[in-house]
Structure 1
Amino acid sequence: MRVDGQDVAVSGSLLQPLTRRTNDILRLALAGVFLVVIVTSSLITRYEWEALERSISEIVGVLSPTQSNTVYLIYGVAILALPFVILIGLIVSRQWKLLGAYAAAGLIAILSLSITGNGIAAPRWHFDLTERLDTVLSQFLDDPRWIAMLAAVLTVSGPWLPARWRHWWWALLLAFVPIHLVVSAVVPARSLLGLAVGWFVGALVVLVVGTPALEVPLDGAVRAMARRGFQVRALKVVRPAGQGPLMLDATERTSDDAEPGTAIVELYGPHQRGGGFLRQFWSKLRLRDSETAPIQTSMRRAVEHRALMALAVGDLGMANTSPIAVATLDRGWTVYAHKPACGTPLDDCADAIPVARVWDSLAVLHSQQISHGDLRGKAITVVDGTPLFGGFAHAEYGASDAHLHTDIAQLLMTTTDLYGAPKAVAAAITVFGFEPVLAASRRLTKTAVPKRVRMSVRDAGTVMPTVRDEVKRQTGADQIKTTTITRFTRNQLIQMVLLVALVYVAYPFISSVPVFFSELRSANWWWALAGLAVSALKYLGAAAALWACADRLVSFRDLTIMQVANTFAATTTPAGVGGLALSTRFLQKGGLGALRATTAVALQQSVQVITHITLLIFFSAAVGVSADLSRFVPSATVLYLIAGAALGAVGIFLFVPKLRRWLATAVRPRVKEVANDLIALAREPRRLAVIVLGCATTTLGGALALWASIEAFGGDASFVTVTIVTMIGGTLASAAPTPGGVGAVEAALIGGLAAFGVPAAVAVPAVLLYRILTCWLPVFLGWPIMRWLTRKDMI
C-alpha cells in the first residue's frame, strides 16, 4: 500500500468473516422472507389481492387510454435503459472489481427464473420496432426475468455508488406497481416474483463479495497516526474485524540506527456500535441509575471515552498504555491507535508480586474517583513491581460509590483466584477498610459482577461464596445480604408473570359466573360449606407427604401454609411447574441443600403418581362394569398415534448423540436417585405410611369436595363414582396446555359425571362450585400468602 509517497507493507487478511457481516446477513434474511411472502400470497391469496388491486385502480385510474399509453411508453423506455445506466455509472466511478459481481447477479437472477420442467427456457427479448413500440417494451416491463435482473444489479451496485443515485433507481424500479395500477389495473404477479428473486440473489452476491463498508481505510489510519508523529512502516493483521475491532500491529518508520517503535491499531467498522448500544440500553433499563454510565450512542464517542480515560489514568502513573491517535475515517470507520501494554500480566507474575501492591494501585485510582470497571487479570500488568491498568473501555471519571464498590468486588474475585481468599480479603481490608469491603462483598452476584470478569476466573460459582464467607470471617459480620442493583427483582418478575397468567386462565371462568350465580339460589349451602372443609384435606395431605419426604426437617405448619401458595403457582403455570419450583425453593430456604430439596419433591411426586394409579385401579374395580367408561378411553387410532410418537421420541433420543449424552448425564442419575430413595423408603414403614397416606388424602380430598358439591345441587352420585370421575378427569386434563388445566378440567369432569348418569343441570354448577372451592379460592388466597412467605424469606 502506498500512502503519500511512502510504501506501507500490509500483511494478513483484512476481510471480515462471513458470519460477522451482520448487515449483509440481515439483508439476505429480509429478502428471503419477502420471497416467501410473495410466493405464499401468489399461491393462496392471489384472487383477493387482484380484487383489491382492481378496487384501488378504480380510484387512481383517472388517465385516459391515450395518457395511459404515453405513461406506459415512457416508463418502459426508462426500465429498458436502467441496467445500462447502472453499468455506465459503475464504469464512470471506476468500480472495476464490481463488474464481475454485477454480471454474476444479473445472470443468476435471469437463470433462476428461466428454469422450467423441460430445462432452461431462454428469454425471447427482441428489439424489432416494426411492431408497436408498447408491444416491444412490454416484453421487458412485464417479464419477471428483466425485473429480477434489475433488482439484483441494483442490490449489488447500490452500496458502492452515491446514495442519491441508489434511491432514484430503486424508486424507478418499484414504480412499476403504481404504473400498473394506473395502466392495467392489476400488478403482474410474475413481476413481483421477479422483484423478490432479484433482491434475494443480489443480497446473496453482496454477502459473498462484500460491501464498501468492508473495505478498510488503512490509508486514513496511517495518515491519522502520521499527524501524531508516528510514521507507519508496516502493518500486520492480528485479528480480523468481528465481534471486536480489526486489530493490527504497526511498526514505526525510523532511521536505520534507531529502534523502531510499535503500536496497536484498532479499527472499528461503521456498524459495530449496534450491539454495544443495545447492551448499554438494556443495562440502563434493567439496572438502577447509580449502577450505569451515560449511554455512548456512537462508536467515536466510545473510542474517545476510552482514550481520555487512558490519559487520565496515565497522569496518575497507573496506565500501562498511552493513546497515539483517535480519528474518524472514510465509510464510517473509527481508528484508535495506542502503545502496546507494557509490563508482565499479573496472571504470569502473581507469585513475585504481593497482593497488597495490587490493592494499593486500585486505591490510587479510587483516590481520584476513577473506577476501572474491568479488573480482570489480563487487564493488569506489572512494571518494576508496580501493578498498572489497561483497557479503560468501562472506566469512569467521577465514579459513584456503586462503581467503586463494584471495582473492589471484581478485584476480590481476581486476586482470590490468584492468591487465595484469605490473602485477598486481608489486603483489601488493609487498604480500604472494613466498611467498603463489606459493601463490595454484597455485590458478589451474577448480576453485579459482569460476565467478562466471572469468565476470567477459574470457577466463579465457587469463588463468590468463598469470598463472602472470608469477608464474614475477617469482618465479624453475621450475614452478608446481597445488594439489589436492578430496578426489578427476579421475584417481582415471577409474580408479574403469574398475575398475567392468572388473568389469562381466569377469563373463561369469569364469562360463566353469571349463569353459575343464578344456579346458586337452589344450592344447599351446608353441603357447600362441607365441601370447603374437606377440600382443606388436599393441603394437609400434600404437606404431610412432602414433610415426610424431607425427613421432617422443615416446619409442618409453614409447609401447610405454603401449599395454598403452591396452588396459586401451579395454577398460573403450564403443567404445574410453578408449584414444583415453589416447593423446591421452600425446602431450600428451610435448610435443605438444592439437591436434597429437588430429590424430596421428586420423591413426593413419584409416590403421588403411584398412589394415584393404585387408587384408580381400586375404585375402577369397585365400580365394575355398571357405567359407560368408553368416553374416557381414546380410540385405537389415537392410541396407535401416541405409541408411534413415543417410539419415535425414544428412537431420536437413542440415535442423537447429544440427546443420548443428556439422558446419560442428566436424566439417568436423577431417575436412579429417585429409585434408590423409593427403595430406601420401603425399608421405613412408618415414614412410607405417612407419605402414602398424605398422597391418598390429597386425591381423596378433591373427590370429597366434588361429591359435596354434587350433593349441594341435589345430585345423587356415589362417592366411589365421583372418585373415579375426579381421578380420570384430572389425569386427562393434566395433559392440557392451559395453566391449571382451566377449561380442560371442567370439560373432563362434566363429561365424566354425564357418563355416570348425572344430569347436566346438576353436573355443570357442581363442577363450577368444586373448582371455586379447590382452585379459585386457594388461588386468590395464594397470592398474598406467597407475598407473605417472600417477606419472611421462606421462598
Structure 2
Amino acid sequence: MADVAGNATSGRTGGTVEGTDDSTGGGTSDGTAGGTAGAAPPPPDPPGIAATGRVRQPAALIRLLAGLVVIALTLLSADYARATTNGLAEDVGGAAALVPHPLGGVATGLTTAALLLLPGCSAARRLLAPGTDRRHVLQQLADGVLAAVLAYGVTLLFALWIDGPAPFSLVSALTRPLPGAPLAHTEPVYGYLAPVLAFLTASAARERRVPWTVLTLSALAGIAAGAATPTALLLGVLIGWTAAHGTRWAVGTPDPRPRPGQLLHSLREAGLHPVSVTPDGPDRYLVRQRGDHPDLDLQLLDRQAVTAALVQRAWRRLRLRTAPHPRALRSLRTGLEHEALVSYAAVAAGVRTRPVAATAELGRDAALVAYRRLPGRTLDELADEEITDALLVDVWGQLALLQRRAIAHRALVPSALLVDPAGAVHLVGLADGDIAAGELVLLSDIAQLLTTLALRTGAERSVRAAVSVLGPDAIAAALPLLQPIALARGTRAALKQAARRGAATTAPRVPPQRTDPEAPAAPATAAGPGPDLLDGIRAEVLRSRPQAPVRPVRLERLRPRTLLAVVGGVVAGWLLLPQLFATERNPIATLADADPFWLALAVLAAAAGHVAGAMGFVGFVPERLDFRNAVLAQVAGSFVKLVSPGGVGGVALNTRFLQRAGIPTAQALSSVGVGQLLGLVLHLLQLGAFVYLTGVEPGGSELDALPAVVGGLAVAGVLLASVSAVPPARRWLGARLRPLTAEVLPRLVELLRNPGRLAVGFTGQLLVSLTLIACLYCCARAVGREPSFAAVGVVFLVGNAAGNAAPTPGGAGFVDSALVTLLELVTSMEKDGALAAVALYRLLTFVLPVLPGWAAFAWLQRRGAL
C-alpha cells in the first residue's frame, strides 16, 4: 500500500457512501470511467467524507532512483568515453554550422519564448476547463512549481560544479567553447528544459503532443545555434524528469484513486443496482444492492498499490522458477482481464468460489472487479473445534477440481479458504492464479495447502485428508516442493513463529473430529505445529509412500549471493580497468620483463601458503587428520573462491572436510571458528609489528600509520562501550557472541591439553600471512621495484582484509584496487609498478591455482573426503 502522507479519504478509513437514484450519471476524475460519453458527473460524496488526501506513490520513488542512476551513468559515459562524446559533439556542431547564424538566433529566441509560455498556458487551460476541481488542480500546479524550482536549483549547482572542481574531461564532454570567446563555454544543462519538464511532469499535465513538440524544437534550436551539446540536452531532460518524481515522492500527490461516488456510478453503468459502498479492507469494499439483489465484494485494482509490489514481484520472478508473472509489469486492463479469466475458469471447473458480477476500468489509474458476496468466515477466523475432518476433505476436494483443470491458485493461505454457514469451503483470492499452469506450480499449491492446514490441525490430519482425496502418489510428488522458499510469506512467518514457541512435541490443538456420529471418537495425536512441522509432514507422507522423493527441487533460478557477486564484479571491474588504462606503461609488458629469480621465489611462497594453511587448519582439530588431504583441501579452496566471497568458501569447505572425516558438525564448526578467531588475533598482532618496523626503518618516516591504528582501536573500544550501554544493542551483540562462548571457547580449552598440536596451529596461522606477504614482496622485486618487507606487510594485511570484505568471489577487483592504492601510498611506488606487482601476485595466488584447485576438489570428492 502506498504511504499516506496526509488525510486519507473516508473511502479508505471508514464511512458509507449511499446513492439516491439509480439513474445518476458520473465518471472518474478525468472523465474516462466506464459509461457513456457526455454522462453527468458522479454524485458528490455526502457531508463528512474528507477530501482526497495525499499519498506517496511507490512508482515515483522507483522513477526517482532510476533517474539518478541514469544521470550517473550519463556522466560516467561522458567522462570515460570522451572520444565518442567529443566526436558526437563535433559532428553535431559541424552540422549546426551550416545553419545561418541569424536564423539560428531567431529560432532559439522563438523556441525559448514558447518554452517559457508553455507552463502558463498549460495551467490556464486546466483551470479554465469546465467542470474542473480547481482545488485539486491548484494542488497539482503547486507541486509543479516546487519541482521546477528544485530542477532549476539543481542545474545551477551543476553549473557551479562544472565551473569549479569538476574534471576537465567532463567539462569538455558536456560543453563546447562559445564562438569568439575561447574562455567561455556553453551551459552544461541547456536552458530551461529541466524546470519546464519538471513542472509539466509534477503537475500531472495530460497534454503530451504539444509540450514535447516545443521541447524538441527548443533542443534543435539550441544545437543549431551552437548553444548546447547533445549531452547537455540529455542531462536537462533527465534532471527535469528526476526532480519531478523526487518532488512527487517527497510531498506526495493527490490521491488518484476513485472516490466512493465514482464507484457507485461505475457499478450502475455496468448494470448493477448499488445503493451504498462501505470500506471492507485495503482496496476492498462491501457494496449493498437494492431489493433482492445480492451484495457484492468489490476489489479495486489500483495502479499505485500494484506498483508498490513491483520490485518484490520482479525479484521473485527473476529468482524463482515457480514465481507468478508480476502483475506490476502488466497494464491495468491486462490485470483486470487476467483476474476475471481465472475466476471464470475456476467456476467452469466446478470450484466453489465468488463469481464475477462486473468489471470496469476507472480511468488510467484504477479498475474494479465486483464479486457476488459470499457469507462466511475464513479459516483463520474459525475456532479449533470447527475444523473437522470433513471440512479438511472438502478443502482438498476443491483443490482437486483446480488441479484437474491445471489451474493454479498460488495463494492458498487461511484467508483464501472461506467457509460458508453450511460448512462448505469456497476458494477465494484467485487474483494471482494461473490457467494451464505447469507441474511445478501445481505441486507448489499442494505443498502450500499441506502446510497451511498443518499449522492449524497438525501434520497427521493434514496429510491424511490430502491422501484421501488426491491419493498418496500426488501428495508424494509434492514433497520436493515442501520447502520454505516455495511457501507464501505469511506461511513462512507462521512457521518461524511456531519454531520460536518450541511446540514440536506439544499436544495437538485440535483432536481428530468424528465424521460419523455413531463412530467412537478418534484418539488425539501429537503432531502439532512446531519447528519441525515440514519434517513432520514429510514423515507422514513417507508412511504411505516410503519410496517418495524427498530431495528438494531447486526452485531458485538466481541466488542472492550470485547476484551480489555479479554486481560486485562489475563494480570491481569499473574500479580496476581505469587504473590499467591510466598508466604510462602497459603492465603486461612489465610482467613480461619480470626477474626470473624473484619470480621463482614468488611461486614457492605462493605454494608454501597452502602448506601453511593446512598447518593452521589441522592444528586446531584435536582429532587426527590426514595431513595430505588437508593440504589438498586448502588447494581446493582456490577453486571454491570462484563461487563465493573471500573467506566464506574456505570456511564452508573446511567444515565439510571435517564432517566427512567423521567429526560432528558442532565440533567441526568449533574447530574452524577457533582457527578463524586466532587467525584474526595474529593478523592484528602482525599488523602492529609491521607498522612499528616500518616506522623505525630508514626512509620509513613517510608512513605514520601507528597513530591511525591506535585511533582505530580507540574508536572500536568506544563503539563497543556504547553498544554495551544500550540494552537492545547489548542483547543483539550477546546473541551474536553466544555461539562463540558456547562452542569455540570450550573447543579451545580442549586444545590446551595438546600444546604440540596447538603450536602447529599457531605456527600455521602465522605462516599463512607471512608466505603471502613474501609472495607480494617477491612480485614487487620481480618487476624491478624495491619496497621494504615491513611496508609490504602493512600493505598486504590492510589491503587483503579490506578487499576480502567485498562480496565478489575471492574479493576480485576490491583486493586488487586496495593493494595497488596502498602500495602507492605506503611504499611510494608508481602506479604502473604497483599494478604490475599486484597483477603478478593475483596471478600466482588467485588465477593459476584455480585449475589445480578444481583437480584437488574433484579428487577429494572421489575419495569421499568432501
Residue 475 (structure 1) aligns with: 545
Q: Which moved more, 1:61-70 or 1:494-503?
A: 494-503
TM-score (norm 1): 0.70
Deviation at 1:686, TM superposition (A): 3.9
Q: Look up the SS of the partner of 2:268 in the other structure.
A: helix
Residue 277 (structure 2) aligns with: 235
Residue 167 (structure 1) aligns with: 212
In the alignment, the residues of structure 2 paired with residue 513 and residue 110 of structure 1 have an alpha-carbon distance, to the nearest angstrom, of 51
The answer to whether the 8 A contact 1:373-1:395 is kept is yes
Residue 264 (structure 2) aligns with: 222
Q: Assess, with a 3 A threshold, how the Cα gap between structure 1 residues 275 and 380 changes in structure 2: closer, same or farther.
A: same
- The equivalences for 1:63-102 within 5 A come to 67=103, 70-71=106-107, 74-75=110-111, 78=114, 81-82=117-118, 84-94=120-130, 95=132, 96-98=134-136, 100-101=138-139
Q: Assess, with a 3 A threshold, how the Cα gap between structure 1 residues 776 and 228 changes in structure 2: closer, same or farther.
A: closer
Q: Assess, with a 3 A threshold, how the Cα gap between structure 1 residues 440 and 559 changes in structure 2: closer, same or farther.
A: farther
Deviation at 1:414, TM superposition (A): 0.9
- The equivalences for 1:538-549 within 5 A come to 538-548=612-622
Is structure 2 residue 654 aligned with structure 1 residue 583?
Answer: yes
Out of 356, 360, 385, the residue aligned to residue 327 of structure 1 is: 360
Aligned AA (2:121): V
The answer to whether the 8 A contact 1:14-1:237 is kept is no
Deviation at 1:233, TM superposition (A): 0.9
Q: C-alpha root-mean-square deviation of aligned residues, in Å?
A: 6.0
The answer to whether the 8 A contact 1:574-1:737 is kept is no
Residue 363 (structure 1) aligns with: 400
Q: Assess, with a 3 A threshold, how the Cα gap between structure 1 residues 538 and 322 changes in structure 2: closer, same or farther.
A: same
Residue 335 (structure 2) aligns with: 302
The answer to whether the 8 A contact 2:576-2:817 is kept is no
Aligned AA (1:249): L
Deviation at 1:441, TM superposition (A): 1.5
Residue 200 (structure 2) aligns with: 154
In the alignment, the residues of structure 1 paired with residue 373 and residue 244 of structure 2 have an alpha-carbon distance, to the nearest angstrom, of 42
Q: 1:755-774, CA deviations, whole angstroms, 9 ceiling, x for partnerless residues?
A: 9xxxxxxxx99999998776
Out of 707, 713, 734, the residue aligned to residue 800 of structure 2 is: 734
Deviation at 1:370, TM superposition (A): 3.1
In the alignment, the residues of structure 1 paired with residue 838 and residue 333 of structure 2 have an alpha-carbon distance, to the nearest angstrom, of 67
- The equivalences for 1:124-273 within 5 A come to 154-155=200-201, 157=203, 159-168=204-213, 170-171=215-216, 175=218, 178-179=220-221, 182=224, 185=227, 214-216=256-258, 221-226=263-268, 229-239=271-281, 246-254=283-291, 261-270=294-303, 273=306
The answer to whether the 8 A contact 1:543-1:556 is kept is no
Out of 722, 726, 732, the residue aligned to residue 665 of structure 1 is: 732
In the alignment, the residues of structure 1 paired with residue 233 and residue 576 of structure 2 have an alpha-carbon distance, to the nearest angstrom, of 50
Q: Specify the structure having the higher radius of gyration (Cα).
A: 1
- The equivalences for 1:335-734 within 5 A come to 335-347=368-380, 348-352=382-386, 353-354=388-389, 355-383=392-420, 384-455=422-493, 457=495, 458-459=497-498, 462-473=532-543, 475-477=545-547, 480-487=550-557, 537-548=611-622, 559-569=630-640, 576-584=647-655, 597-609=668-680, 629=697, 635-636=703-704, 638-648=705-715, 650-651=717-718, 655=722, 661-662=728-729, 664-666=731-733, 669-670=736-737, 673-674=740-741, 677-678=744-745, 681-682=748-749, 685-700=752-767, 731-734=797-800
The answer to whether the 8 A contact 2:613-2:634 is kept is yes
Q: 1:414-443, CA deviations, whole angstroms, 9 ceiling, x for partnerless residues?
A: 121111122222333333333322221111
The answer to whether the 8 A contact 2:615-2:764 is kept is yes
In the alignment, the residues of structure 2 paired with residue 206 and residue 499 of structure 1 have an alpha-carbon distance, to the nearest angstrom, of 34
Q: Look up the SS of the partner of 1:735 in the other structure.
A: helix
Q: Structure 2: where are the runs of 5+ without partners? A: 1-18, 26-42, 77-84, 154-189, 500-530, 581-585, 783-787, 805-810, 830-834
In the alignment, the residues of structure 1 paired with residue 485 and residue 713 of structure 2 have an alpha-carbon distance, to the nearest angstrom, of 41
The answer to whether the 8 A contact 1:323-1:339 is kept is yes
Q: Assess, with a 3 A threshold, how the Cα gap between structure 1 residues 483 and 77 changes in structure 2: closer, same or farther.
A: closer
In the alignment, the residues of structure 2 paired with residue 365 and residue 401 of structure 1 have an alpha-carbon distance, to the nearest angstrom, of 13
Q: Assess, with a 3 A threshold, how the Cα gap between structure 1 residues 561 and 467 changes in structure 2: closer, same or farther.
A: farther
- The equivalences for 1:46-61 within 5 A come to 59-61=95-97
Deviation at 1:608, TM superposition (A): 3.5
Deviation at 1:406, TM superposition (A): 1.2
In the alignment, the residues of structure 1 paired with residue 45 and residue 694 of structure 2 have an alpha-carbon distance, to the nearest angstrom, of 95
In the alignment, the residues of structure 2 paired with residue 76 and residue 360 of structure 1 have an alpha-carbon distance, to the nearest angstrom, of 70
Q: Assess, with a 3 A threshold, how the Cα gap between structure 1 residues 770 and 661 changes in structure 2: closer, same or farther.
A: same
In the alignment, the residues of structure 2 paired with residue 219 and residue 574 of structure 1 have an alpha-carbon distance, to the nearest angstrom, of 57
Residue 29 (structure 2) aligns with: none
Q: Assess, with a 3 A threshold, how the Cα gap between structure 1 residues 423 and 698 changes in structure 2: closer, same or farther.
A: same
Q: Assess, with a 3 A threshold, how the Cα gap between structure 1 residues 634 and 582 changes in structure 2: closer, same or farther.
A: farther
Q: Assess, with a 3 A threshold, how the Cα gap between structure 1 residues 379 and 641 changes in structure 2: closer, same or farther.
A: same
Residue 160 (structure 2) aligns with: none
The answer to whether the 8 A contact 2:278-2:287 is kept is yes
The answer to whether the 8 A contact 1:320-1:388 is kept is yes
Q: Assess, with a 3 A threshold, how the Cα gap between structure 1 residues 412 and 607 changes in structure 2: closer, same or farther.
A: same
The answer to whether the 8 A contact 2:197-2:241 is kept is yes
Aligned AA (2:614): L
Deviation at 1:209, TM superposition (A): 8.5
Deviation at 1:335, TM superposition (A): 1.2
In the alignment, the residues of structure 1 paired with residue 680 and residue 838 of structure 2 have an alpha-carbon distance, to the nearest angstrom, of 23
Q: Assess, with a 3 A threshold, how the Cα gap between structure 1 residues 523 and 462 changes in structure 2: closer, same or farther.
A: same
Q: Assess, with a 3 A threshold, how the Cα gap between structure 1 residues 238 and 443 changes in structure 2: closer, same or farther.
A: same
Deviation at 1:234, TM superposition (A): 1.3
Q: 1:75-132, CA deviations, whole angstroms, 9 ceiling, x for partnerless residues?
A: 56645654553344124423323553477468768988999xxxxxxxxxxxxxxxxx
The answer to whether the 8 A contact 2:654-2:672 is kept is yes
Percent of aligned pairs with the same amino acid: 21
Aligned AA (2:536): T
Aligned AA (2:429): G
Deviation at 1:545, TM superposition (A): 2.7
Deviation at 1:411, TM superposition (A): 1.3
In the alignment, the residues of structure 1 paired with residue 729 and residue 464 of structure 2 have an alpha-carbon distance, to the nearest angstrom, of 43
Q: Look up the SS of the partner of 1:371 in the other structure.
A: coil
Higher helix share: 1
Deviation at 1:563, TM superposition (A): 2.2
Deviation at 1:478, TM superposition (A): 8.9
- The equivalences for 1:3-42 within 5 A come to 4-5=23-24, 15=52, 18-19=55-56, 21-25=57-61
Q: Which moved more, 1:226-235 or 1:412-421?
A: 226-235
Q: Structure 1: where are the runs of 5+ without partners? A: 41-48, 116-143, 241-245, 716-721, 756-763
TM-score (norm 2): 0.65
Q: Which moved more, 1:575-584 or 1:600-609?
A: 575-584
The answer to whether the 8 A contact 1:422-1:470 is kept is yes
In the alignment, the residues of structure 1 paired with residue 277 and residue 64 of structure 2 have an alpha-carbon distance, to the nearest angstrom, of 33
The answer to whether the 8 A contact 1:706-1:766 is kept is no
Q: 1:573-608, CA deviations, whole angstroms, 9 ceiling, x for partnerless residues?
A: 665343234434555677777765543322122234
In the alignment, the residues of structure 2 paired with residue 193 and residue 504 of structure 1 have an alpha-carbon distance, to the nearest angstrom, of 22
In the alignment, the residues of structure 1 paired with residue 195 and residue 693 of structure 2 have an alpha-carbon distance, to the nearest angstrom, of 75
In the alignment, the residues of structure 2 paired with residue 663 and residue 57 of structure 1 have an alpha-carbon distance, to the nearest angstrom, of 64
